[in-house]
Amino acid sequence: MQTRITELLGIEEPIFQGGMAWVADASLAAAVSNAGGLGILGGGSADAETISRMIDEVQALTDKPFGVNIMLMSPEVDAIAQAVIDKGVKVVTTGAGSPSDYMEAWKAAGVKVIPVVASTALARRMERSGADAIVAEGTESGGHIGEMTTMALVPQVVSAVSIPVVAAGGIASPRQYAAALMLGAEGIQMGTRFLTVEECTVHPAYKEKVLGAKDSDTIVTGRAKGTPVRSLKNKLMRAARAAEYQPADETTEESEIKLSGSLRRAVVEGDMDTGTIMAGQVAGMVTERGTAASVIEAFSAGVEDLLGLDAASLLQANQKREHLV
């Protein structure tokens, strides 16, 4: 499928692999890029030196375009913003904040900037400051989330901006890919679906947990603190959620709820009880492993089956029918 996204980035299929912290390493990102999508390294809370090394690794594994996701709550964000320029990275996505402070430097260095947003307000601001495209991420996603659903958010962002929009959150099948295109998106980003592929290096226990999840197995914690995070239910998350609704003087002992370092514990050590197993609401429909290439191929063929061989012109026509939003 060709859209403005494939043209902008020089990729074959407008499918991004979400830049998942601790998960999206050179192995996964290179596999997705080599399969014709956009692989994205997850910067997460890693320091600039580590991210620079990850960039070297992915460059050794693929000649295709890839991106780096910069998590804006990272303590080293200034150094990381400069590191991607120094390394000649061509595509940056951002999450968990506004990248306004770095936009000018990235644009000057010829980096394509694609902020991940959860509202039309930030999407508009990003377009004004020079973003090349937008990822509109619904609350169905895993990890740090906003309030709006993908179904409600994507068409409103599409109407609010004229740059291309990529839909994220709640997408793990060709039907959902087709639905996103019907909402006006010109591509999709998936995280959870890529967690179980061969090239994803998360601990085997993490993959099993995703494969065994059902629709209602995710939980959101951290709302009270202003950083809502969706992950799979486990002992840690039940304790964290319970603590949020308890009066301050009755809080569970701090030692029972150790959130710092908990994503690493799940991803690297396979700690399924006291680790944070970030995953989206679609975990319940991720029942296969496959490879990055088999996923992209199935989505590419599936969307053409669903929308017809002329899916790209159908899309163009859809976008012209603005009265239908």
Least gap, CB of 314 to ligand TUI (angstroms): 29
Applying CB under 6 A, does 31 fall inside the site for ligand TUI?
no
Pick between residue 86 and residue 101 the one whose CB is nearest to ligand TUI.
Answer: 101
* Residue 21 vs 55, nearer CB to ligand TUI: 21
Work out whether 137 is an interface residue with ligand TUI (CB under 6 A). yes
What is the CA 227 to chain-centroid distance, rounded?
16
Which ranges constitute the DSSP H helices of the chain? Answer: 4-9, 26-34, 48-61, 77-86, 100-108, 120-128, 150-160, 174-182, 192-195, 204-211, 235-244, 262-267, 292-307, 311-320
291 belongs to the binding site for ligand TUI (CB under 6 A): no
Measure the CA–CA gap between 276 and 225, rounded to whole angstroms.
17
**CB-wise, 117 or 311, nearer to ligand TUI?**
117
Closest distance to ligand TUI from the beta carbon of 259 (Å): 8
| Cβ-contact 157, 32 below 8 angstroms | no
Nearer to ligand TUI by Cβ, of 23 and 35: the residue is 23
Residue 151 main-chain phi, psi, to 5 deg: -60, -40
Which residue, 69 or 196, is less far from ligand TUI as judged by CB?
69
Q: Which of 39, 146, 275, 284 binds ligand TUI (CB under 6 A)?
A: 146
Interface characters, 83-122, with ligand TUI (x: CB under 6 A): ------------xxxx-----------------xxx---x
229 three-class SS = strand
Please calculate the CA angle 127-130-132 and round it to the nearest 5 degrees.
80
Please spell the DSSP secondary structure of 11-35, one letter per residue.
Answer: -SS-EEEP--TTT--HHHHHHHHHT
Check if the beta carbon of residue 31 is closer than 8 Å to that of residue 15: no
User: In the complex, what is the shortest distance from the CB of residue 67 to ligand TUI, in angstroms, rounded to a whole number?
Assistant: 14
Helix (H) or strand (E) holding 66: strand 66-71
Best CA proximity match to 275, nearest among 18, 22, 19, 17: 22
Task: Report, in Å, the least distance between residue 94 CB and ligand TUI.
Answer: 8
- Residues 204-233 close enough to bind ligand TUI by CB under 6 A: 227, 229
As measured in angstroms, the least distance from the Cβ of 150 to ligand TUI is: 12
If the CB atoms of residues 120 and 196 are measured against ligand TUI, the closer one turns out to be 120
User: Which of 178/200 has CB closer to ligand TUI?
Assistant: 200
Residues that bind ligand TUI (CB under 6 A): 21, 44, 71, 73, 95-98, 116-118, 122, 137, 143-146, 227, 229
